[in-house]
Structures are given as C-alpha cells and as structure tokens.
Structure 1
Amino acid sequence: MENIRDIITNKLMETKREGMEDLLVGLEEIGFWEAPCSTQYHLAKAGGLAEHSLNVAIAADSLEAALLPSTIGVDHNSVIITALLHDVGKCGGFGKPNYIENILKSGKQSASKPYASNKDLLYVDHEIRSITFIEKYIELTEDEEWAILMHNGLYGSFRYQIQGKETPLYLILHSADMWAARVMEKEEEDA
C-alpha cells in the first residue's frame, strides 16, 4: 500500500496545477510530512498534519461525489488542492515550526498535551499562513483562497465574515475538515 506521502504527492500532481512540483519541494522544506496537526486534540503526533490532510481529502472526495451535481461547477482539482493544503500553515513560518514538543520538567514529552505553540513565532492565523505558503508556488482561484481562509467556519477567527457568504467549495472543505477531525480521527484515537 502506498504511504501517505506518496498518496498526497500523487493527488497533488494529478491536478496538473502549474508550480505543483515546486510546492512539493516547499512542503519538504517546511516540515509538512513530520508536523503534528494540533497541540493536543486530533493527530497531535509526528506526521499528524499529513495524515489529517489526507483524511480531509478522502472526506471531501466523498462529499463532492454525493452532493455536487455537475451543474454547480466546483472543479474537482479545487477540492483536492484545498483539502490537502488547507492546514499547511500549521507548519509555521520564517524557518520556525508552529508547534514544538511540550517537554515537561521531568524531561519527557507530555502525554496529555504533546505539543505547544512556538512562542518564538509571531502568531498569525494558520489559514493566512496556508494561503501565503501555497501562493508562493501555485496560483489559487478566488474560490480556493476563500475556502481555505474560511475553512474553520464558526470555529475560526473569521466566523463573522463567512456568514451568508458560504460557497459550495467552502462547504465541502469545512464539512470534510470537521468530519475528519471529529469522526475519522476520533475513531482512530478510540481504537
């Protein structure tokens, strides 16, 4: 079976978006493949961010197939790009990781909260960092940028801006993100 890196790489390359090969090099440079997804909640482990991104893509693919008649006009490549890259900003920026190991006074990594936010990195919402990183390499459409910026919906910093401006792509991404974090990854945690 292919590993997560190979699956994500193949899915991104299948979009044929100009600059994708360079973006994949950039993912390597910022530590995407090793980054945790959160400090203590879903997939707070090395490689958790890549695993979460793939889970979101799987859920988004299913939602797209179930919900979108061809007349709505959401490009499948947009679904894949936003699903796989929506949280890339969680890697951090300026050569600094967003999350660092949470080492206790005992010298061991905390089991209940394995990671902490890096205090040496100025805080910027990860949605903004994601768009900034992606657009160094590939051009996003307005709809893709909006979906990534708003993907946390009422749980994010932009909760007041999204109300009444939901797009089909945003709804797929947000729903898939929530499904991955609250259902798929919860089942893994409980197993």
Structure 2
Amino acid sequence: MNEEQRMAEVEKFKNYFSYISRPGADKLLAWLEEAGFFTAPASTKYHGAYAGGLVEHTNYVYRRLVQLADAEDKRQGRTYTEYTVDTIAVAALLHDVCKVDAYKVEKKNQKQKDGSWKEVEVYGYTNSLPLGHGEKSIIQIMRYMQLTEEEMLAIRWHMGAFDSAVKGGSYDMNNAFAGSRLAAMLHIADMMATHLDERTNAHE
C-alpha cells in the first residue's frame, strides 16, 4: 500500500466515523490518530501486514457489516432498521482499536529465494496492556465514549471461535451470538473482510 492509497483509506474511515455522533467521539478519533491507528498494520503476517493495513481492514469490515445488517433487516421484513447507523459504525470501526499500539517494526534476518540471507524490517507483536483482544478494545473506547451493552458484546466476541476464551471452553460467545444479531454479524463481517476482500485486493 502506497501513501496515496493509505490516505484514501483514512479519508473513508473518517467519513464513516462521522456517523458516530455520541459525546466523546471527537476525543476518541483524536486519540486514534495520535496513537497511530492510521499507520498500523492489521497483523504481523496474516492479513494487512503493512502500514495502513488496520484502517483498510476496518473499512472493509464496516462495508460488510452494513451489507449484512441490511440483508438481515430485509429477511426479517423490518420496516425500520434493527440497528442505527451509529451502532453499526461503532461496532465495525472500533472492534480492533486494541491493535493501535500492538505492532512494532523489528529487524530480522530473512532467507531469500536464492538462498541468501538479508536483514529486513518486519512487524513484531507486543502487548503492553494484556487484557484480552475484544476486552482491550472496549476499555480503550470507553475511556472516551460510552458503548451500549450490545455494542460491547459485539466487540468483545468479534473473534468468534478464534478467541482464546472460546478455545479454553467458554460458552459465553455462544450466548452472545444467540442474544445479539449484531455480535454474530460483526464476526461474520470480520471474517469476510479478512478472507474475501483483503485476499481479492491484496497489495504487493
């Protein structure tokens, strides 16, 4: 991703973020910018492993969640949407704020195709606030802005079966998905963004 592409993704994010109108949203956005959200990768190597990868991934999740929520409203035959544009934006745009300070550039010797070794810069993972993935996002958001209980559930469990608590045998994710379509849809939107959108539009 070049700088022009990254800035285009930042602009899209800020446009989507404008749907969040609750008190503290402006302070939260200022913190995201200051903390490096718009230059962070989405992961070390799995997806979006480049500067701007996190904001790009987030934008994909937002668009997927909008589509899923709209399709579900139609399936349910709703006259009015189940979730406000504010809630959709909050869940999608803020689910991964826990990653804002999680990746640092490191130098590493890497084997090349010709068999030689070369020192390259890669992202390494660090966690100065080990509270859990979704939990950390919620705590960081609520330093600036309030969340509804359903938004908390969605952000907390957006990792689905990949969440360490689920791997440890917790049934809380199942209960969250059973009680909240938003929680289930955010997880699906996250998976679609990661495994469909980002794979199709992978940057060199």
Task: State the TM-score, normalized to the length of structure 2.
Answer: 0.81
Paired position in structure 2 for 1:23: 28
Q: Distance in 2 between matches of 1:165 and 1:134?
A: 20
Paired position in structure 2 for 1:86: 95
Is 1:108 aligned with 2:120?
yes
Is 1:181 aligned with 2:190?
no
Q: Distance in 2 between matches of 1:7 and 1:72?
A: 23
State the shift of 1:118 in Å.
Answer: 2.0
Q: Helix, strand or coil for the counterpart of 1:41? A: coil
Superposition RMSD in Å: 2.1
Paired position in structure 2 for 1:142: 149
Q: Helix, strand or coil for the counterpart of 2:145? A: coil
Paired position in structure 1 for 2:61: 56
Q: Distance in 1 between matches of 2:45 and 2:175?
A: 32
Give every structure 1 segment of 4 or more consecutive aligned residues whose post-TM-superposition deviation is greater than 4 Å. none
Unaligned ranges ≥5, structure 1 = 92-96
Relative to 1, partners in 2 of residues 1:72 and 1:171: Cα closer, same or farther, differing over 3 Å? farther
Segment of structure 1 superposing worse, 50-59 or 128-137 = 128-137
Q: Distance in 1 between matches of 2:202 and 2:26?
A: 33
Asked whether the 8 Å contact 1:88–1:126 carries over to 2, the reply is: no
Asked whether the 8 Å contact 2:176–2:183 carries over to 1, the reply is: no
Relative to 1, partners in 2 of residues 1:77 and 1:43: Cα closer, same or farther, differing over 3 Å? same
Segment of structure 1 superposing worse, 80-89 or 159-168 = 159-168
Q: Distance in 1 between matches of 2:70 and 2:187?
A: 16
Q: Which amino acid aligns with 1:23?
A: L
Asked whether the 8 Å contact 1:57–1:83 carries over to 2, the reply is: yes
State the shift of 1:190 in Å.
Answer: 8.2
Q: Distance in 2 between matches of 1:14 and 1:98?
A: 27
Give the count of matched residue pairs.
181
2:165 to 158, 163, 166: 158
Unaligned ranges ≥5, structure 2 = 110-117
Q: Distance in 1 between matches of 2:42 and 2:132?
A: 14
Q: Distance in 2 between matches of 1:133 and 1:190?
A: 29
Q: Distance in 2 between matches of 1:79 and 1:158?
A: 25
State the shift of 1:122 in Å.
Answer: 4.9
Identity %: 32
Q: Which of structures 1 and 2 has the bigger CA Rg?
A: 2
